[in-house]
Amino acid sequence: MKFARVLMAACAVGALAAAVAGAQSTDPDQVYLEADELIENRERGVYIARGDVRLAAGERVLYADELTYDPASGRVTARGSVRLFEGRQPAQLAEEIILDDDMVEGVAYGFATLLENNGRAAAAAALRRPDGSVELRDAYYTACDLCEDGREPAWRLRADEVIRDLDDEVIRYRDMSLEVAGVPIFYTPYFAHADPSAKRRSGFLLPAVDISNRLGFSYQQPYYWAISPYQDLVIAPRIMTEANPLLELDYRRRFYSGEINVELSFTNEQEYVDGPDADSEGEWSGDYEFRGHVFAEGRFDLAPGWSWGFGAQAVDDALYLRRYDYSESPEESSTLFEFDQRTLISQLYITGRGERYYTDLASIRFQRLTEDFDNDRLPVVAPLLRFTGEVPLPRGMGDLDVGASAVNLRRERGQDHARASVGFEWTAPAILPGGVRAEAFATGRVDGYSFNTVNGAGVETDTTNFTRALGAAGLDVSWPFLRPGDHFNTILAPRAFVVTASGLDDDQIPVAAEGDVFDLDSTAMFSSNRVGGNDIWEDGARLDLGASGSLEGLGRNRLRLDAFVGRSYRLDGEPRLSQASGVFEDESDWVAEVEASNRYASLAARTRLDTETGDLNRLDVEAMVRAWRVDALAIYTDLNDPAATTVIREINARTEFNVTQRWSLTWDIIRDLDESVTRRTSAGIRYEDECTEFRVFWEREDLRIGDLGPSESIKFEFILFTLGGIGGD
């Protein structure tokens, strides 16, 4: 039935399918045609299908009010609410489609369709040429919802002519303009980008723009180079009005067993030095030198459960990253170890994971981002070995975990340190009569140490080697009580934890002990090894007492209240942790925590009260509100322990006020209350809808790090969903 087959050809290779979906024509064996009436007009020599026409073959379905086939001209015409469906692809619409019966050329009038990533395209006319290329006349593209009330979309690209070249996988625009709310704001006589159906395509990406007091006006134009199906490179030169140009490169490559990522930048510039006070302007001075940074990482599979990887982080100028507004650590990383406190880390590692074990082996090197700091005093870790495994025991005998670790630290200047440890941890939880929960535990470890001591001039004065055998055992008991209610459930759980540990001589404590990193809280209190490291060991006996309670609302009442209070008592042994830890005395500081929340707000507080004076040694408060048009978060920290080397009193607040559904105001601040200085603040305005995000914000940092003083910048972010955007990052 040639009439049906030719009409199906219109469906398969019409301008809609060819122009937008890139679908290939087929000649199906079965063609189905449905219509209210089928007419053969002999006077005109045409065939007509009219009224709820449905033409289907395979996954292709064409709907129209009327189909006409003219054998003399070889023309097929579909009119009236034409809709074309192909598999799961979105509908393609037109007022009228005209094709020749050779399925080579065609035109659609009043064309509209959905595209990849929820894009929408429309044109007065869509033409398919014999070479397969497609042209849209008087066309536009947008990712915004089209308003039924006739309002203009938030943005759209409008062009007199759009050509889709399927061979080159590129779309070209002639006389293109970007319209925002129907108002043209940008025009170019020619524009091109990769076809949405193309997987990867070389070309220019949208730029990044910002303004700062150090760099002036900054414009960065990235170019994406698709080197091969498995590797690409982004070349992004940055031009600044107050500094020499900078080049940034971002390389990625995938292998059959893994991938590598390399980010680097470099420039030839002087050093930037700020004035002595916040109001003085900085200047570039000194010799011109090549400066730059590199962040590189890779990870590769070796066997099921086993992999190896590396990470490299380096700069040749400690303030380079901060000077050029880079993050001082990779924003995304898959490496094994991460570090903060303005320290870069390079590493080489191997990991293995099974059903009952985990192990890794690594070598690590550090670099501090501090001017005039002697990095030779930082250790090179080679190697660091960790292993944990689970040993199955018969039912009822508890759980047994074994572990081993080793570390070797070498410094060009300073103390060398080596340790090897093997140990076990056994636990046996049980539920006793009356609902009492009891868990017996025992742990043991053997450590071997070798380290040297050096004098102030860095000269080695002594070498120490020793081994020690450590063990501890105890019982963890809690007795929860539940009281159901009509509106609230109440739970109260007193808890007691007792542990006794083997003794430790003073000459069995390494010089590089880790006691200063501990701060008592509820999670660390009920633990046989509260520090978590290997160097510090709390000998003797201690008793931890505490009680927790919770109040949980039922039904529509979402109120929840959790609280804890407790302290630790040393029954025997010497104080091994620092005075600022809260457990230096025989009776520790009081630890109290409370958290309350409902559907709209939450408040959490954690405090440590001095055991003798009752003063606040530490207070952390976090409050969150999400109600009406306000979304706010505030964090207050007060570390005022007289034994602490650092006093911290600061507040970190963030708030967003939704002026309308789409417009909002944002404000962030970090305030040093002890110094009465605002360390960081930013304020901005943001617009966001289903297809657009626009943000302008001002940011200021009042910090002095080396020769860099306070910084101030204005950043712009303008993102058109599905196309990309202009941003400050």
Rounded Cα gap, residues 612 and 538, in angstroms: 22
Task: For residues 461-468, give the mean pLDDT.
Answer: 88
Q: Which residue has the higher pLDDT, 84 or 90?
A: 84
Question: Can you give the pLDDT at residue 274?
Answer: 81
Is residue 399 within 8 Å of 426, Cβ to Cβ?
Answer: yes
Q: Which residue has the higher pLDDT, 572 or 165?
A: 572
Q: What is the pLDDT of residue 60?
A: 74
Residue 397 has what pLDDT? Answer: 93
Which residue is associated with the tokens 């025991």? 393
- The pLDDT assigned to 24 comes to 35
CA gap 707, 318 in Å, rounded: 11
In angstroms, the Cα distances linking 282 to 275, 286, 711 are 5, 13, 10
Q: Which CATH class is domain 2-147?
A: mainly beta
Query: Around 283, how many Cα atoms within 13 Å sit in the side-chain half-sphere?
Result: 6
Examine the pLDDT at 2 and tell me if it is beyond 60. Answer: no
The percent of residues above 70 in pLDDT, for the chain, comes to: 90
How many CB atoms within 10 Å of residue 62?
Answer: 27
Mean pLDDT, to the nearest integer, of 389-417? 92
Choice between 127 and 420, residue whose per-residue pLDDT is larger:
420
For the chain, the structural domain boundaries read 2-147, 422-599
Decide: 179 and 692 in contact? Cβ < 8 Å: no
pLDDT at residue 285, as a whole number: 87
Higher-scoring residue by pLDDT: 91, 96: 96
**Highest mean pLDDT out of 46-55, 324-333, 343-352, 519-528:** 343-352
Between 681 and 207, whose confidence is greater? 681
User: Predicted confidence band at 517 (pLDDT cuts at 50, 70, 90)?
Assistant: low
DSSP secondary structure letters along 586-650 = SBPPEEEEEEEE-SSEEEEEEEEE-TTT--EEEEEEEEEEEETTEEEEEEEEEE--TT-S--EEE
pTM: 0.81
Distance of CA 246 to the CA centre of its chain: 26
Evaluate if residue 558 carries a pLDDT over 90: no
pLDDT over 50 (residue 496): yes
Task: Please work out, in degrees rounded to the nearest 5, the angle formed at the alpha carbon of residue 707 by the alpha carbons of 704 and 713.
Answer: 60
Around Cβ 424, how many Cβ atoms within 10 Å? Answer: 15
What's the sign of the alpha-carbon dihedral 93, 171, 184, 175? negative
Structure confidence at residue 719 as a pLDDT band (50, 70, 90): confident
Highest mean pLDDT (candidates 120-124, 211-215, 300-304): 300-304
Rg value, the chain, Cα? 35
Question: Which residues face 287 on adjacent strands?
Answer: none
- pLDDT at 530 (0 to 100): 85
* Backbone phi and psi for residue 231, each to the nearest 5 degrees, phi listed first: -155, 150
Alpha-carbon distance 16 to 98, whole Å?
A: 11
Residues 6+ apart with CB under 8 A from 460: 452, 453, 454
Question: Could you identify the residue written with the tokens 């290329």?
Answer: 133
User: Per-residue b/e over 363-388, b at no fewer than 16 CB within 10 Å?
Assistant: ebbbbebeeeeebeebbbbeebebbe
More confident position, 171 or 328:
328
pLDDT of residue 512: 60
Q: Check residue 236 and give its pLDDT.
A: 96
E strand map for 13-146:
32-34, 37-41, 46-57, 60-70, 75-86, 92-100, 106-114, 120-128, 134-142
Closest CA to 153 of 143, 166, 165, 167: 143
Look at residue 433 in the predicted model and tell me its pLDDT.
Answer: 92
Instruction: Judge whether residue 71 has pLDDT over 90.
Output: no
Residue 382 has pLDDT above 70, yes or no: yes
Establish how many alpha carbons lie within 13 A of residue 71's alpha carbon, considering only the half-sphere containing its beta carbon: 13
Over range 676-685, report the average pLDDT. 94
pLDDT at 20 over 60: no
- Which residues have CB under 8 Å from 81's CB, separation 6+? 63, 64, 65, 93, 95
Average pLDDT, the chain: 86
119-128, 345-354, 416-425 — which is least confidently predicted? Answer: 119-128
